[in-house]
Structures are given as structure tokens and as C-alpha cells.
Structure 1
């Protein structure tokens, strides 16, 4: 998923990702992600993008499993709390 450049930085991607996870997660114990850019960036640019993406996923409730993978345990109330806040931010409640 990519957000159009003019809409970036407002939290829309976080909200969209949280809604998708919430919709697809009934009966699922956890979700994992590999926070990396969807381009061919390398070196410092790639590291910066990975760091920013890790921060975005953390805001939804994901936590590092190791140096590459992040996990969200869905039996915790973290996603519900984060999703409620994002819905309020975008007037979806």
C-alpha cells in the first residue's frame, strides 16, 4: 500500500492499516510485518525508511520480534485502542 504524496504525513496509512488488520483478524492470534520500503532504495535512505515504517507500525501496537520483524498480538486490546483513536482523528466515529 502506498499513500499519495499529497496525503502523506497525516496518519491515513496508519488508520487504513489498522482497519484492514481489524477486518481480517477474527480468529487470528497475531499479525507480523517486515517494515521496509517498497522501492529499490539502499544504504542510508533505506535505513531511514525502515526506521520511519517501524515507527508507524509501533503506533498501531506492533512490537519488534527481532531486528527485521514486528508483531502485533491480537489478543491484547492495543489495536482496539489505537483504532479508536485513529477513527476519532479522522471523524469516523
Structure 2
């Protein structure tokens, strides 16, 4: 959908599906599962990312601020004072080649049945690999995306523990703490690629274990 800052702040919505419609492999698994597996092509989650483009003439801070508070926090930390061109001195020191666009990982959401298996970081890593071309870094602001039904459970201790767990997930694919709660992934480093391969191996192992028949 067109909007005022479409040339500066570019949204990406990645849909996570269980296989693909028409793929015999996934359809066979659906039949073998006795109806328990989702239909091939069923949506089981989504990711939202933003590409903050450099040198468009717009004020990049204003573009982020107009969209959401989390984006504003990230952009205000990484940009220079003008908000139009250039990154902050701290960002330039933290990133190997601080020239180019910035990719922002905004949200990773999975249906409850698919949580707790390490899918979130693995999917984020795959999306980053495909969308980060021309970006000098990827930024994320670890925070609680969902809250318990009983909001009284969300004490400050609960919130801090949740943020710590989420930060650990992003660290597992190459993010490092930067400033004011923002984490960065340096796209020039080899480590994120190696960590992505490790997450892939973990998921293959999980898939193999899930296909084994139960022991007597």
C-alpha cells in the first residue's frame, strides 16, 4: 500500500506456511499424520521486517516515528543527528562497513502449537539472509510481542526475564547488544552465516526425531 515514506521505510511481510500447496511430500506427511498435521500451505506464522533506505531525501527518523515506537527507538539510536543521512558515531564503530541500508527485524509470530522448538530464530535468520542484500546491518529491539491474558502477571521481573529470553534467541543467530536495548547483526561477518547453518542442523535433527515411531 502506498504511503508517505514508502521510498524510505520499506515494509516486508513474510508468511510462514506448513509446506506448499501441490507439494506431494507435504501432502503425504499430512495423510500419514492421521489428519493431525495442518493442510499443505496452511499459514502457521509470519515475520515483519523493514528496510530503512539510505539517501532518499526524507528524514529517516520521522519515517520510523510515524510508523511505531519500537522503530523510532531503533532508528534514533543508529542514526546521526540530522536524521536524513549518515549513521551515529557509535553505530559506525560497531559495524564493519557502516554504509548502505539498515534492515530492521520488527516481529516474529508463530501459532502456539509451533512455539518452543527454535523455529523463530531459524526463520528470522532465513528471512534476513534473503532480504539483507545491500544492508550494512540488521537491527532488532527485543521486547514482549504478546502478553498473558492476566495482565497482573506482567510484573517488572516478569518483563525483564521475558526480554532476557528473547535476547538470547536473537543472540543465537548473530545479534549483539548495541545501545538502549537495541541489538545489531553485522552483515559483513561470517558468524551469522555459521549460526544459521547451526540452526538449520538443529531443525533437521528435530524433524528426524519427530518422524521416529514411538518406542514400545
The answer to whether TM tops 0.5 is yes
Distance 1:17 1:42 in 2: 28
Distance 1:44 1:64 in 2: 20
Deviation at 1:7, TM superposition (A): 2.2
Instruction: Please state which structure has a larger fraction of its residues in helix.
Output: 1
- What is the DSSP-based 3-state SS (H/G/I as helix, E as strand, rest coil) of the residue aligned with 2:172? helix
Name the larger-Rg structure.
Answer: 2
Aligned to 2:166: 53
For each residue in 1:31-57, what CA deviation from the matched residue of structure 2 results, as whole angstroms up to 9, or x when unmatched? Answer: 110000113555222111111111001
Taking CA–CA contacts closer than 8 Å with sequence separation of 6 or more, which of the two structures ends up with the larger relative contact order? 1
Runs of 4 or more above 6 Å deviation: none
User: In the comparison of the two structures, how many residue pairs are matched?
Assistant: 91
Aligned to 2:178: 65
Q: TM-score of the superposition, structure 2-length normalised?
A: 0.40
Give unpaired runs (5+ residues) of structure 1. Answer: none
Instruction: Please state which structure has a larger fraction of its residues in strand.
Output: 2
Give unpaired runs (5+ residues) of structure 2. Answer: 1-107, 148-153, 205-216
Q: How does 1:28-43 map to 2 (within 5 A)?
A: 28-39=135-146, 41-43=154-156
Give RMSD over aligned pairs: 1.5
Q: Pick from 116, 126, 151: which aligns with 1:19?
A: 126
Deviation at 1:9, TM superposition (A): 1.8
Q: TM-score of the superposition, structure 1-length normalised?
A: 0.87
Distance 1:67 1:9 in 2: 27
Distance 2:114 2:175 in 1: 23
